[in-house]
Amino acid sequence: MKIGFIGLPKSGKTTLFNVLTGSSAEVSAFSTVKAGPNLAAVKIGDERVEKLAEIYNPKRKVYPTIDIVDLAGVSEGDGKADAFSGDLMKLARNCEALAIVLRNFRTDWQGEPEPLLDLSRIEQELLLADLIIAEKRLEKIEANSRKGNVAPAQKVEESALRLIAEALNKSRPAREVDLDPNQELAIRCFQFLTRKPAIVILNSGEDRYGKNPGVLSGISQRYPAIEFAGQFELELSRLDEMSAQAFMEDMGIRESARDRLTGLAYETLGYISFFTVGEDEVRAWNIRRGATALEAAAAIHTDLARGFIAAECFHYDDLMAAGSDKAVRGNGHFKLVGRDYPVRDGDILSIRFNVSKTA
Ligand SMILES: Nc1nc2c(ncn2[C@@H]2O[C@H](COP(=O)(O)OP(=O)(O)OP(=O)(O)O)[C@@H](O)[C@H]2O)c(=O)[nH]1
Ligand SMILES: [Mg+2]
């Protein structure tokens, strides 16, 4: 799962990136260096892994990760019109979801923050970038049809693009357009930015944190929203755990920035976790809600999906209630499921597969 941080220049994207990933990418008030994006994987904490490890005593514990891409540094920055350059948009298109970062702290040279206004500026940029792509492609299809060579598949694509262009022209994001599965497939390659799930991070200064119910409710009408105190939380991350905890409580911050972000991303993107257990490793995996046992097998290894026979399955809660997997087998909560079984959050799976089929 890859989330791209996008926002106006100097909104604190890199600061948040550093808080979340424990990195120390360069943060600066004035630099306009054109560097590549910062990229890091964030471990998604899950206390169920710890509990499972107590039962299985594995050699290692493995957690799923979210890749975070700090898209800053690509922009020329400093509020110039090219803050959303083509390069930046290209990188953003490769992300599965976007996290829009809004400045909610005062600076001498930018003045008072206006997060809602910034949000609509960013939305306009994203709408425009998508509209350019949709219209360019529509022109191409029209040119083809004048020459008389329009394949049926292109008709499906055209119908989808027309719906999307119509929405974008009315300042509505592409994600609000209902498409049938064929249309969806036909336009997937364009990776429309406004069709991606998006969350908003309000990056508040220490003095403002927790005092923005109006702004947050304005944002939440359209996006799942979360408030961070980027700079403050970065300073916290440099303290020892005890002092950090005390400062966090003072500020009314209940969970670490990382847990808050990964929780929201899981929810917004509709992810769930399943587990594999054994002496070697206890591991949490993430998949889309509604994914099947076969898709879970594929997430582990393509060979497991190709040679899939069945999956042994029991639930984390049943294991915790019974105390051991032997007890779960005895009390009827252990089952063998087929390839179409919809995996539940907390399922513990062991895939039976036939190696010869994978050759
Ligand atoms: N007061 C205050 N300053 C902050 C906060 N977060 C970031 N800053 C400052 O704002 C400036 C820009 O922060 P960055 O994290 O580099 O912002 P950015 O969005 O990555 O900037 P670009 O990549 O250049 O667009 C730095 O001087 C930070 O120290 C905050 O929560 N409060
Ligand atoms: Mg930056």
d(CA 336, CA 170): 51
The answer on 112 and 214 residing in a single domain is yes
**What per-residue confidence (pLDDT) applies to 35?**
60
Query: Under a CB-based contact definition with an 8 Å cutoff, are residues 164 and 154 in contact?
Result: no
Q: Do both 187 and 212 map to the same domain?
A: no
CATH of the domain at 145: 1.10.150.300
| CA 10 to ligand 1 centroid distance, Å | 5
Q: Is the pLDDT of residue 283 over 60?
A: yes
Q: Indicate whether 135 and 200 sit together in one domain.
A: no
Q: Is 42 helix (H, G, I), strand (E, B) or coil?
A: strand
CATH number at residue 218: 3.40.50.300
Pocket lining: 3 vs ligand 1, CB cutoff 6 Å: no
Mutate to test the pocket of ligand 1, among 16, 231, 232 (most ligand atoms within 8 A of CB): 231
pLDDT at position 80 over 50: no
- The answer to whether residue 96 sits within a structural domain is yes
Whole-number Å distance, alpha carbon 23 to ligand 2 midpoint, is 12
Could you tell me the pLDDT band of residue 262, with boundaries at 50, 70 and 90? confident
User: pLDDT at residue 31 above 60?
Assistant: no
| Contacting residues for 74 by C-beta, under 8 A, at least 6 apart | 34, 35, 36, 37, 85, 87, 88, 91
Q: For residue 97, is pLDDT > 80?
A: yes
Residue 273 counted as domain residue? no
Say if residue 231 is in the same domain as residue 104.
yes
- Contact assessment for residue 279 and residue 59, using Cβ atoms and an 8 Å cutoff: yes
pLDDT per residue over 307-342, tens digit each? 999 999 999 999 999 998 889 988 889 999 999 999
Same domain, 108 and 26: yes
Determine which of 106-115, 146-155, 161-170 has the lowest per-residue pLDDT on average: 146-155
Is ligand 1 within 6 A of the CB of residue 205? yes
Whether residues 102 and 134 share a domain: the answer is: no
| Range in 36-40, 72-76, 227-231, 338-342 with the lowest mean pLDDT | 72-76
**Helix, coil or strand: residue 84:** coil
The verdict on residue 137 lying in a domain is yes
What pLDDT does residue 357 have?
Answer: 58
pLDDT category at 358 given cuts 50, 70, 90 is low
Does position 141 have pLDDT exceeding 50, yes or no? yes
Run of H or E including 267: helix 257-269
Domain boundary among 159, 177, 195: 195
Same structural domain, 14 and 86: yes
Look at residue 152 in the predicted model and tell me its pLDDT: 81
Is 140 part of a structural domain of the chain? Answer: yes
Split at pLDDT 50, 70, 90, the class of 254 is confident
Residue 332: its pLDDT value, please? Answer: 87
Distance 356 CA to ligand 1 centre (A): 55
Total structural domains within the chain = 3
Domain end among 237, 268, 299: 268
User: Do 235 and 137 have their domain in common?
Assistant: no
* pLDDT for position 74: 41
The CATH code of the domain that includes 351 is 3.10.20.30
Query: Distance (Å, rounded) from C-alpha 215 to C-alpha 157?
Result: 38
| pLDDT cut 70: percent of the chain above it | 93
Q: Which residue has the higher pLDDT, 149 or 341?
A: 341
CA of 65 to the centre of ligand 1 (A): 25
Q: Average pLDDT in the 263-280 region?
A: 91
Q: Give the residue from 195, 192, 193 showing the smallest Cα distance to 178.
A: 195
The predicted pLDDT at position 145 comes to 87
pLDDT at 24: 74
Determine the average pLDDT of the residues in 228-256: 86
- Structural contact between residues 102 and 202, judged by C-beta atoms closer than 8 angstroms: yes
Q: Is residue 19 a part of any domain in this protein?
A: yes
Query: Which DSSP state fits 37?
Result: P
Say if residue 35 is exposed, middle or buried (CB neighbours under 10 Å; 0-12, 13-18, 19+): exposed
What was the pLDDT predicted at 81? 46
**In a shared domain, residues 91 and 231:** yes
195-239 per-position pLDDT tens digit: 999 999 999 999 999 999 999 999 999 999 999 999 998 888 888
Quick one: how far is CA 249 from the chain centroid? 27
Looking at the CA of 7, which ligand is closest?
1
- Residue 76: the pLDDT is 42
Q: At residue 260, does pLDDT exceed 90? A: no
* Whether residues 182 and 56 fall in one domain: no
Sheet harboring 60-62: ordered strands across? 60-62, 281-288, 271-276, 347-353, 308-315, 335-337
Which residue pairs, CB below 8 angstroms and at least 24 apart, start in 216-224?
Answer: 218/116, 219/102, 219/115, 219/116, 219/119, 223/100, 223/198, 223/199, 224/199, 224/200, 224/264, 224/267, 224/268
Q: Which atom of ligand 1 is nearest to the CA of 203?
A: 31
- Do the domain assignments include residue 156? yes
Indicate the average pLDDT of the chain. 89
Q: Is any atom of ligand 1 closer than 6 Å to the C-beta of 15?
A: yes
Q: Which of 162, 195, 228 is the last residue of a domain?
A: 195
Q: What is the extent of the structural domain holding 310?
A: 290-358
Query: Average pLDDT for residues 151-165, to the nearest whole number?
Result: 92
Q: pLDDT at position 355, please? A: 77
In a domain, 217, yes or no: yes
Task: Please check whether residues 149 and 72 belong to one and the same domain.
Answer: no
Same domain, 188 and 227: no
- Identify the pLDDT of residue 136: 95
Kindly indicate the confidence band of residue 287, based on its pLDDT and cuts at 50, 70 and 90: very high
pLDDT tops 50 at residue 156: yes
Put residue 277 in one of left, alpha, beta given phi > 0 → left and psi -120 to 50 → alpha: beta
Do residues 139 and 238 touch, judged by C-beta distance below 8 A?
Answer: no
Query: Is residue 280 a part of any domain in this protein?
Result: no
Could you tell me if 71 and 91 are in contact, meaning their C-beta atoms sit under 8 angstroms apart? yes
